[in-house]
C-alpha cells in the first residue's frame, strides 16, 4: 500500500515535471524559432538592401549627374559694376578675395586705422631735424635707414619689422636730442624692439651688437631699448605704409585680368624707397601707400589714368591729394633724389622681385593724371 502510494506520488511528481519540461521546451522552441525567423528576415532584408544598392549604383552610373555645387560658397567677383553716374554698385570690400580683408568689419577696421595713424602720440614731428636735432642731418638719417634695410635682409626680418623700426626711430628723434655717434645705436635698438613685436623668433641682442661690428656693448643696446620704450610710452603698435599698401594693392589688382606680381613688387619697392627720404615723414602712412599704388600703376601702364572711382572710394584720396607725395616718390624712383642710397635699389633688382627696380618710367607724370578720373 505504501509502495503503491509512493509510486503514485512519484508518478504525479514525474507528470508535473514532465508537464513543466514540456512547457519550457515549447517556450524555448518558440524562442528559437522566433530568433531564427528574425535572423532569416534580417538576412533577407540585407540581401534586398544590397540588391537595391547595386541597382541604385547602376542607375547612378548610367545617369552620371552633374557635380553638386558646394553649399555656402559664393562665386568670386572679378569685375566692378559701375552705374551710369559712375557710382560703384558694390562696396569695395565685396571685391576682395583675401579673407583677412573682407567681411562685415572691414570698413570699421579701416576707419580705426585711419584714425589711429593721425593720433599725435603715434606721429613724428614733420620737421624734427630742423626743430629738435642739432647733430643729426637728413642725409645721416637716410644712410642709417639704408643700412637698416641691409640688416633686415641679413636677419631675414619681415617688412613690417623694418617699417615699425623706422617709425620708432622718427618718433624718438622727434622728442630727444641725439648725437650722431649714437644714431646707429638708436637704429639697432629700434629694430630690436620691432623684432620682438613682429617676429616669431627675433634676433638676440648679441646679434645686433655683432652687426654693428661690436661698436656698442650689450648693456648699451638694452639701455637704449629701455629709453625708446619710455619715450614712446610703450605705444608700439601703429599702422605703417605697409599696413595700408596691402589693402590698396588688392583693389588696384582689379584693373588687371590676372594678378600682376609686378604691381605688387613695384609697390613694395616704392614704399621702401619712401623710407629713405626725410621729406616723407610729414605724410600720413595711408597717403604714402595710396601714392605708391598711383605711381606703380603709372609706371606699368603710363598711357592709362592710374586712378579710378573704386580705389578713390576705398582709399578716400583724390588724385590731387596725392600729387606732392607722388612727385617726390617719382624723383626717388628716377634717382633724382637719394641716388647714393643703393641698398633698396639693389634688393629690388633681384629676380625674386621681378627686377622692378630696373623698370623704365616716363620722366614726367602728366598733370592731367592728377585730375579726377
Question: What's the pLDDT score for residue 32?
Answer: 40
* Average predicted confidence (pLDDT) for the chain: 79
Q: How confident is the model at residue 73 (pLDDT cuts 50, 70, 90)?
A: very low
**21-26 average pLDDT score:** 51
Quick one: three-class SS letters along the chain?
A: CHHHHHHHHHHHHHHHHHHHHHHHHHHHHHHHHHHHHHHHHHHHHHHHHHHHHHHHHHHHHHHCCCCCCCCCCCCCCCCCCECCCCCECCCHHHHCCCHHHCCCCHHHHHHHHHHHHCCHHHCCCCCHHHHCCCCCCHHHHHHHHHHHHHHHHHCCCCHHHHHHHHHHHHHHHCCCCCCHHHHHHHHHHHHHHHHHHHCCCCCCHHHHHHHCCCCCCHHHHHHHHHHHHHHCCCCCCCCCHHHHHHHHHHHHHHHCCCCCHHHHHHHHHHHHHHHHCHHHHHCCHHHHHHHHHHHHHHHHCCCCCCCCHHHHHHHCCCHHHHHHHHHHHHHHHCCCCCCCCCHHHHHCCCHHHCCHHHCCCCCCCCHHHHCCC
36 pLDDT higher than 60 = no
pLDDT at 310: 85
Cα–Cα distance between 82 and 96 in angstroms, integer? 16
- Residue 32 belongs to a domain: no
Same domain (yes/no): 218, 256: no
Say whether both 216 and 296 belong to one domain.
no
Contact 174, 132 (CB under 8 A): yes
pLDDT at 296 over 60: yes
What mean pLDDT is predicted for residues 318-333?
94
Shared domain check, 185 and 206: yes
**274 is a domain residue:** yes
Grid cell 513543466 in the structure block, residue? 20
How many domains is the chain built from?
2
Give the per-residue pLDDT at 100: 52
Q: Same structural domain for residues 259 and 344?
A: yes
Please indicate, yes or no, whether residues 364 and 294 belong to a single structural domain of this protein: yes
Q: Last residue of a domain, which of 208, 232, 256?
A: 232
In a domain, residue 90? The reply is no
What is the span of the domain harbouring residue 251?
A: 241-370
| Residues 138 and 168 occupy one common structural domain | yes
Tens digit of each residue's pLDDT (9 = 90 or more) over 92-147:
454 445 555 555 777 888 889 999 999 999 999 999 999 999 999 999 999 999 99
Are 181 and 253 within one domain?
A: no
Q: Give the model's confidence band at 338: pLDDT under 50 very low, under 70 low, under 90 confident, else very high.
A: confident
User: Is the model's pLDDT at 30 over the cut of 80?
Assistant: no
Q: Are 248 and 314 in contact (CB under 8 A)?
A: yes
Beta carbons of 168 and 240 less than 8 angstroms apart: no
pLDDT at 202 over 80: yes
Average pLDDT over residues 333-344: 89
pLDDT of residue 340: 86
State the residue for C-alpha cell 605724410. 283
205 and 312 part of one domain: no
**How much is the average pLDDT of 9-18?**
58
At 28 the pLDDT is: 46
Q: The domain spanning residue 361 has which CATH number?
A: 1.10.472.10
List all residues 6 or more positions away from 28 whose beta carbon is below 8 Å from its beta carbon: none
Q: Are residues 221 and 248 in the same domain?
A: no
Kindly indicate the confidence band of residue 218, based on its pLDDT and cuts at 50, 70 and 90. Answer: very high
Residue 161 lies in a domain: yes
Give me the pLDDT at residue 34, please. Answer: 36
Give percent of the chain above pLDDT 90.
55
Whether the per-residue pLDDT at 209 is higher than 60: the answer is yes
Can you give the pLDDT at residue 83? 40
pLDDT of residue 237: 86
Neighbours of 157 (CB within 10 A): 20
298 or 14: which leads in pLDDT? 298
Closest CA to 243 of 282, 273, 286, 284: 286
**363 plus 250 within the same structural domain:** yes
Q: What percent of the chain has pLDDT over 70?
A: 72
Comparing 2-6, 134-138, 243-247, the range with the smallest average pLDDT is: 2-6
In a domain, 153, yes or no: yes
Q: What is the pLDDT of residue 226?
A: 96
Among the candidates 232, 256, 277, a domain finishes at 232
Considering only 3-17, 207-221, 270-284, which range has the smallest mean pLDDT? 3-17
Residue 199 falls inside a structural domain: yes
From CA 324, how far away is CA 282, in angstroms rounded?
A: 11
> What pLDDT does 251 receive?
84
Is 354 part of any domain? yes
Q: Is residue 112 part of a domain?
A: no
Together in a domain, 212 and 329? no
pLDDT band at residue 17, thresholds of 50, 70 and 90? low
Are 219 and 280 within one domain? Answer: no
Final residue in a domain of this structure, among 232, 259, 283:
232
Q: What is the dihedral of CA 164, 166, 171, 172, to 10 degrees?
A: 110
Amino acid at each position: 500500500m505504501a509502495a503503491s502510494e509512493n509510486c503514485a506520488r512519484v508518478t504525479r511528481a514525474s507528470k508535473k515535471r514532465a508537464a513543466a519540461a514540456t512547457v519550457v521546451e515549447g517556450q524555448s522552441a518558440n524562442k528559437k524559432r522566433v530568433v531564427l525567423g528574425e535572423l532569416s528576415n534580417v538576412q533577407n532584408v540585407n540581401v534586398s538592401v544590397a540588391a537595391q544598392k547595386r541597382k541604385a549604383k547602376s542607375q547612378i552610373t548610367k545617369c552620371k549627374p552633374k557635380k553638386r555645387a558646394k553649399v555656402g560658397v559664393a562665386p568670386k567677383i572679378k569685375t566692378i559694376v559701375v552705374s551710369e553716374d559712375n557710382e560703384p554698385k558694390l562696396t569695395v570690400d565685396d571685391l576682395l578675395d583675401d579673407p583677412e580683408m573682407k567681411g562685415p568689419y572691414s570698413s570699421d577696421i579701416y576707419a580705426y586705422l585711419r584714425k589711429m595713424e593721425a593720433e599725435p602720440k603715434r606721429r613724428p614731428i614733420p620737421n624734427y631735424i630742423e626743430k629738435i636735432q642739432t647733430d643729426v642731418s637728413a642725409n645721416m638719417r637716410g644712410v642709417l635707414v639704408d643700412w637698416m634695410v641691409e640688416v633686415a635682409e641679413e636677419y631675414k626680418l619681415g617688412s613690417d619689422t623694418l617699417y615699425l623700426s623706422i617709425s620708432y626711430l622718427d618718433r624718438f628723434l622727434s622728442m630727444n636730442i641725439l648725437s650722431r655717434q649714437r644714431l646707429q645705436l638708436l637704429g639697432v635698438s629700434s629694430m630690436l624692439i620691432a623684432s620682438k613685436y613682429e617676429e616669431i623668433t627675433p634676433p638676440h641682442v648679441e646679434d645686433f651688437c655683432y652687426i654693428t661690428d661690436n661698436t656698442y656693448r650689450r648693456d648699451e643696446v638694452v639701455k637704449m631699448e629701455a629709453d625708446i620704450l619710455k619715450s614712446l610710452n610703450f605705444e608700439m603698435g601703429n599702422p605703417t605704409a605697409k599696413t595700408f599698401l596691402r589693402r590698396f594693392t588688392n583693389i588696384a589688382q582689379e584693373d588687371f585680368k590676372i594678378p600682376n606680381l609686378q604691381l605688387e613688387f613695384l609697390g613694395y619697392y616704392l614704399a621702401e624707397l619712401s623710407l629713405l627720404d626725410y621729406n616723407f615723414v610729414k605724410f600720413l602712412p595711408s597717403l604714402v601707400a595710396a601714392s605708391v599704388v598711383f605711381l606703380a600703376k603709372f609706371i606699368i601702364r603710363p598711357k592709362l589714368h592710374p586712378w579710378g572711382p573704386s580705389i578713390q572710394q576705398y582709399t578716400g584720396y583724390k588724385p590731387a591729394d596725392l600729387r606732392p607725395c607722388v612727385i617726390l616718390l617719382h624723383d626717388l624712383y628716377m634717382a633724382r633724389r637719394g641716388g647714393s642710397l643703393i641698398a633698396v635699389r639693389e634688393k629690388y633688382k633681384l629676380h625674386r622681385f621681378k627686377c622692378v627696380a630696373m623698370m623704365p618710367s616716363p620722366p614726367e607724370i602728366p598733370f592731367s593724371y592728377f585730375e579726377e578720373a
